[in-house]
Structure 1
Amino acid sequence: MAGSLAGKLAFVTGAGSGIGRATCGILAREGASVVAADRNLASCNETVTNIVQGGSQSHISLELDVGEQKSIESALKSVLQQYKKPPSIIVNSAGITRDDFLVKLTENNFDDVIRINLKGTFMVIQTFARAIIEQGVQGGSIVNIASTSGKYGNLGQANYSASKAGVEGLTKTAAKEFGKFGIRVNCVLPGMIATPMTDAVPEKVREKSLKFIPLGRFGKPEEVGEVIAFLASDKSSYVDGASVDITGGI
């Protein structure tokens, strides 16, 4: 039985771990060929190795720094050489944290987070959307990873919260601009998800966070990946410019 993404080509940033890695596996399970891209190529290779091969799918890994335009353009060129077409599914999962209280936050740590999380998402969208439009690829879907921190703010995350609020605003604007080309743009807002990023959060903070989650646990990367796969598929064909909370009830 064909999956909901059979015959589709997907490009996933931040694919070396966490939500990005989980999403790659789910997109592949649903029939997509997956391009796993990450700054850590070894982790990307591991992601692709873990993907169950099936049918005529072909998956590749690429080294990518979303903060560098030349790196993004090189990745697109590699995809076009390999598959002879741009991907119709783009998942922007690459992101970093540089947490500190606002009065202590350095300018460099503010700039780094904005450059990767917000500007990087913008440059990937711009570069790949151009290719989709120029080649007339149908049924495009872009899914960005925002955060509940961008919606509500979070202690010690002025830079991260600002970057993710920006991603949500960018998503809604892109949806308005790309609709006429048949490209849908949506974002997901994960809460506390068990990933290497949240593993770095102090234990006391994590325990405190659990008290506010009605389901009483952190989410799994796969639970975010399933929503991303839905937004990437034709099952969500009239969902555009949406922000989907994945929070366990917060």
Structure 2
Amino acid sequence: MGDRRLLDGQVAIVTGAAQGIGLAIADTFLAHGARVMVVDVDEAKIEAVVKERREAGHAVAGQRCDVTVEADQDALVAATLETFGRIDVLVNNAGITRDKYMKKMSVSDFDSVLDVSLKGAWLGTRAVSGLFREQKSGAIINMSSLSGKIGNPGQTNYSAAKAGLIGLTKAAAKELGPSGVRVNAVQPGLVRTEMTLTMKPEIFAAKEAEVPMGRAGEPEEVATAVLFLASPLASYINGAVLEVTGGRGI
């Protein structure tokens, strides 16, 4: 893409952005000229991320937000508008895992995963939808997962949440599309993050062996797919699900 910056003048909110794929998305957006609101529940991590990037000359701010709480989501939108004056992109990336086989999975393990990934994305989408409709523009990207397409044993909660995000994406794309707002989803496969590297090495190796490209992905490779969907390059893409899996699960 050379020197072309795809998000010049735009403002993006990225949830779950203090580490992993979320942080890679925030950094990729910053590199492409966006001003970014880094959102997480971990205030110390937000402060460290924001401080480092401000020192590097980036236009970045941070906001603690529990994505499962309606008031927090509304406060996030208000804070972003107060700080940057506009909002153009929302990336619903916040998510957690509570992996267990069903027999051992508690109801709270099920609820908390659906609350963060699915309800959190719905609340975020709802919180920006009025503004996006009014300005007749905006891009929302929901971070699903290959688990939501193929399912994983021990992840009935996570797989259900990530599959639910596809339904949310398509329904919201139909609701908001007439106003010029685009809603799309990304389904990453096996990606090297803090979360996946806690797997037992033999399990990670077995999953990696299922990838036609023969390797796990890097967070930056997911981030560039999100950048594409957020940018004018994807101006006629709405309700789509982009798999970033190296061919795993096709």
Q: TM class, shorter-chain normalised?
A: over 0.9
CA distance in 2, matches of 1:29, 1:183: 23
Question: For residues 61 and 108 of structure 1, do their structure 2 counterparts lie closer, same or farther at Cα, with a shift above 3 Å needed?
Answer: same
Q: Percent identity?
A: 38
- Comparing 221-230 with 201-210, which one deviates more in the overlay? 201-210
**Residues 83-232 of structure 1: pairs in structure 2 closer than 5 A:** 83-85=84-86, 87-133=87-133, 136-232=134-230
Q: Is the 8 A contact 2:30 2:59 kept in 1?
A: no
Structure 2: distance between partners of 1:123 and 1:230: 24
Does the CA contact (< 8 Å) of 1:24 and 1:47 recur in 2? no
1:31 maps to 33
Normalising by structure 2, what TM-score?
0.94
Cα distance in 1, alignment partners of residues 61 and 167 from structure 2: 31
Tell me the C-alpha RMSD between the 2 structures. Answer: 1.4
The amino acid across from 1:96 in the alignment is I
Aligned residue identity for 1:74: A
**Do the aligned partners of 1:2 and 1:31 also contact (CA within 8 Å) in 2?**
no
Whichever residue aligns with residue 117 of structure 2, its letter is: N
Q: Distance in 2 between matches of 1:31 and 1:51?
A: 13
Query: Contact 1:5/1:32 (CA < 8 Å) preserved in 2?
Result: yes
Displacement after TM superposition at 1:200 (Å): 2.1
The match for 2:23 is 21
After TM superposition, give the deviation of residue 113 of structure 1 in Å.
0.4
Structure 1: how far apart are the matches of 2:24 and 2:219?
Answer: 6
Structure 1 ranges of 4+ moved more than 2 A = 45-54, 136-139
What does the per-residue CA deviation read over 1:78-133, in whole Å, with 9 as the maximum and x for residues that have no partner? 11221233x11000110000000112211010000011010011000001112222
For these two proteins, the number of residue pairs brought into alignment is 245
Distance 1:143 1:208 in 2: 29
Q: Can you give the 5+ residue segments of structure 2 that lack an aligned partner in the other structure?
A: none
Contact in 2 for aligned 1:28/1:51 (Cα 8 Å): no
Q: 1:50 to 1:217 in 2, by over 3 A?
A: farther
1:72 paired to 2:70: no
Do the aligned residues in 2 keep the contact of 1:142 with 1:185 (CA within 8 Å)?
Answer: yes
The aligned amino acid for 1:116 is V
- The alpha-carbon deviation at position 2 of structure 1 amounts to 5.2
- Give, as a single letter, the amino acid of the residue that structure 2 aligns with 1:225: A
Q: Aligned partner of 1:177: which letter?
A: E
Quote the residue 1:234 is aligned against.
232
Higher mean alpha-carbon deviation, 176-185 vs 124-133, is at: 124-133
Q: Is the 8 A contact 2:144 2:186 kept in 1?
A: yes
Distance 1:213 1:2, change over 3 A: closer
> Partner residue of 1:11?
13
Contact between 1:92 and 1:145, CA under 8 Å: does it hold in 2?
yes
Task: Name the SS of the counterpart of 1:196 in structure 2.
Answer: coil
Q: Distance in 2 between matches of 1:198 and 1:125?
A: 27
Displacement after TM superposition at 1:147 (Å):
0.5
Deviations 1:157-200 (A, max 9, x none): 00000000000110011101100111100000000111111122
User: Residues of 2 paired with 1:45 and 1:221: CA distance?
Assistant: 21
Tell me, which stretches of 5 or more residues in structure 1 are unaligned? none
Structure 1 length-normalised TM: 0.94
